[in-house]
Amino acid sequence: MGVQNAAADLPAMKSNPKFIFFTDFDGTITQQDSNDFMTDTIGYGQAKRREGNIACLNDKISFRDSFQDMMDSVTRPYDQCIQYVVDNVKLDPGFAEFFQWSLKNNIPVVVLSSGMEPIIKALLKKLVGPDAEKMQVLGNQVGSRDGKDINEEGGWTILFRHPESGFGHDKSIELRKYSSLPEDQRPTMFYAGDGVSDLSAARETDLLFAKKGHDLINYCARENVPFTVFEDWTNILAKCKEIVEGKATVQEAAKAGFEAYKSGAAGVNNKETTE
């Protein structure tokens, strides 16, 4: 694939970047996961939702089926759901500064989400502002249920990007389009995530940032996937600056996650996922 073809097929390659930052959205760019927030507060509640998360980590249920179950429990009209999360979900500290730095340094940011694009774009518009349109967003869509309008009670359902996949949105499919580029074109690929929706992406990038205290760390440690831990985007910005400026390598950064996990500094209970 030539440079021009790569740019046509992959929007993030348009500026021929040396680095691309892929990221989960819910609970990664934002402090709260908007889907978890809806499920916990206007759906079937936190306890049942958490049971599904742990079942996913232990391969007892697919993420797609667990997430469908979560969203089916939220029956409020969709326009009200969007307003509800816009009113309550906050941006993770440091993301706005990171994003402005990425724009200045030709580092495209691509959102790969298992959530729903209308909610993500509404949140980004509020939390980031007009520059949010410079972020490519790939997620799931929303459709009507049982002949209703999506803005009626019980009128909407999630439409998965990859309904045949157990992930619903298999993030590895998009990532492999970039990782399979010829070596002289392939950028260094970063990814940030926090939970079960990121399992398909965990092995596919050069440096994985896993959020402190969240499920993705347990998965990476169990499956021997290199990662580094972040608490918020100020950590990510500092580490990316080091790498872009040649003061550190992705390999050095990836070793740090296992050290944090072994020392107990990664903020996870590694017993929870085996119970």
Catalytic residues: 24, 26
Scored b (16 or more CB within 10 A) or e, 169-198 reads bbbbbbbeebeebeeeebbbbbbbbbbbbb
What's the rounded Cα separation, in Å, for the pair 187 and 103? 16
**Cβ–Cβ under 8 Å, residues 75 and 61:** no
Cα 254-259-262 angle, rounded to 5 deg:
135
Beta strands (DSSP E) in the chain are: 19-23, 109-116, 136-144, 156-159, 188-193, 207-211, 228-230
**Cβ–Cβ under 8 Å, residues 89 and 222:** no
Smallest CA-to-CA distance from 121 within 104, 107, 142 is with 142
